[in-house]
Amino acid sequence: MSIDFDKFSKYSKAGPRYTSYPTAVEFSLDYDYSSYIQSLKEQNPKRALSLYLHIPFCRSACYFCGCNVVYTSKDDKKSRYIEYLKKELEILKKSLDCTRSVVQLHIGGGTPTFLSADELDEVLSAIREVFTNFSPDAEIACEIDPRFFELDQMKSLQKHKFNRLSFGVQDFDLSVQEAIHRIQTPKLIQECVLLAREHDIKSINFDLIYGLPHQSFETFKKTLQIVCGLNPERIAAFNYAHVPWMKKSMRKIDETTLPKPSEKLKILKHTISFLRANDYEMIGMDHFAKRSDELFLAIEKNELKRSFQGYSVKGGSDTIGIGLTSIGESIDYYAQNFKDLSSYEKAIDEGKLPHFRGIKLSNEDVLRKEIIMSLMSNFKLDIKKIEDRFGIDFKDKFSNELEELKEFVADDLVDIGEDFIRISDTGKMIIRNIVMPFDEYLKKTPKEDRKFSKTV
């Protein structure tokens, strides 16, 4: 991998992360409940299902976190939420064909392991009672807060055939941990990894974040050494997005302690070179995997998929969102559940799925979604395949977009041929910038109104 960081660093500007297209800021109340139910009923029965379950609870705030979270220490909130999850599952059972093959289940949060072992078992049993056709090779994953992870919880996950765990690590430096309000020692993470390995977890991911308060090149070097010593199969190294206007907890971070852009760039350079030297390859924006991992191998086959849950090889499936704030996705729609508990419960009490906003994609949206997500996931685009599928002349239809890409071509970030668009190693670092010309919605949004994190 050859990266020209001087070219890379000049492209910093606000832009979407493209976990979806159209992005979540375009979701609206106009995609009403009846439209959503109709979309569920019209799904192709031959397409597999991917399930996302959201557990929103955390005991306390981690100041860096941008997730949708409910802070509580009350057990009765958990039991009440579980009852409503089971009611939501029963309504889903009446709304779509739940006998379709399930190829993926992902539990996120919040803190999924905020639930006890018995509560996890209760929720997972309820899911399997409704969705009865799990594929033998289904990817079944759970996000783990290492501070709240015990043997009995691991046994519950093993019982329900979990094969992937993702641990929130962030950084091992104590001063950084104190500043972000999350203390967890290397010894604790090591114990969690050993527990997972002893219970047949073959794939472990660590989430790291660079750009946190008090972080430096030297401190993050030490974190990476510890991480590689624990030998996870996958590593996500996220650029911290400081958006205090969106997340109040981020206001507790002293902005003067955040590393300067030059220091962040130094950290990123070392992260890439160090991970490569330790058998990891970049497989997508912010993500690394062992060279033997299926994510890395999927890029060679042009089969990697990007979604709100990250990267996966389980493409060609419809995502069903379950629980507070979760997002469902099919070929031509996105649908999101309510973000507050009272509205979520009220909808379910009325016998409805707790959907409150979304978007029905036009044919143009579906086309642009395919282009953007293909480039985001696999760093290349088969132009002829797009032309055949959508019945278009690509270079005629996207002449303006191709004109905008000339800047990237001149900088050797993009290679455009008769039948392909291919992203260079340096271009992969700014893939968000490269796909922006294909984003019709972004073009309609004044630059001063673009409330996104920086691309670099």
Find the CATH number of the domain harbouring 253.
3.80.30.20
Domains in the chain: how many in total? 2
Rounded Cα distance between 336 and 334, Å, is 7
Segment 175-186 mean pLDDT: 96
Q: In this structure, are 302 and 438 located in the same domain?
A: no
Asked if residue 424 belongs to a domain, the reply is: yes
Asked if residue 336 belongs to a domain, the reply is: no
Q: In this structure, are 135 and 265 located in the same domain?
A: yes
Q: In this structure, are 282 and 370 located in the same domain?
A: no
Rounded Cα distance between 61 and 180, Å, is 9
- Which residues on adjacent β-strands are paired with residue 317? 48
Q: In this structure, are 25 and 116 located in the same domain?
A: yes
Q: In this structure, are 242 and 377 located in the same domain?
A: no
Q: In this structure, are 30 and 122 located in the same domain?
A: yes
Asked if residue 244 belongs to a domain, the reply is: yes
Asked if residue 176 belongs to a domain, the reply is: yes
* Residue range(s) defining the domain that contains residue 400: 363-456
Q: In this structure, are 111 and 162 located in the same domain?
A: yes
Q: In this structure, are 304 and 400 located in the same domain?
A: no
Residues 6 or more apart whose CB falls under 8 angstroms from that of 386 comprise: 367, 370, 371, 392, 394
Asked if residue 1 belongs to a domain, the reply is: no
pLDDT digits (tens, 9 = 90+) for 30-46: 899 999 999 999 899 99
As a whole-number percent, the residues of the chain with pLDDT over 70 amount to: 95
Q: In this structure, are 110 and 165 located in the same domain?
A: yes
Which of 322, 350, 381 is the last residue in one of the domains?
322
Q: Tell whether the torsion through CA atoms of 22, 26, 29 and 30 is positive or negative.
A: negative
pLDDT digits (tens, 9 = 90+) for 199-251: 999 999 999 999 999 999 999 999 999 999 999 999 999 989 888 888 889 99
- Which of helix, strand or coil describes residue 393? coil
Asked if residue 446 belongs to a domain, the reply is: yes
Q: What mean pLDDT value characterizes the chain?
A: 92
Asked if residue 15 belongs to a domain, the reply is: no
Question: What pTM value is reported for the model?
Answer: 0.92
Q: In this structure, are 129 and 224 located in the same domain?
A: yes
Closest among 13, 10, 2 to 408, alpha carbons compared = 10
Q: In this structure, are 305 and 368 located in the same domain?
A: no
Which of 256, 291, 322 is the last residue in one of the domains?
322
Rounded Cα distance between 93 and 349, Å, is 16
Asked if residue 297 belongs to a domain, the reply is: yes
- CATH number of the domain encompassing residue 374: 1.10.10.920
Angle (CA) 163 72 340, round 5° = 85
pLDDT digits (tens, 9 = 90+) for 360-397: 999 999 999 999 999 998 899 999 999 999 999 999 99
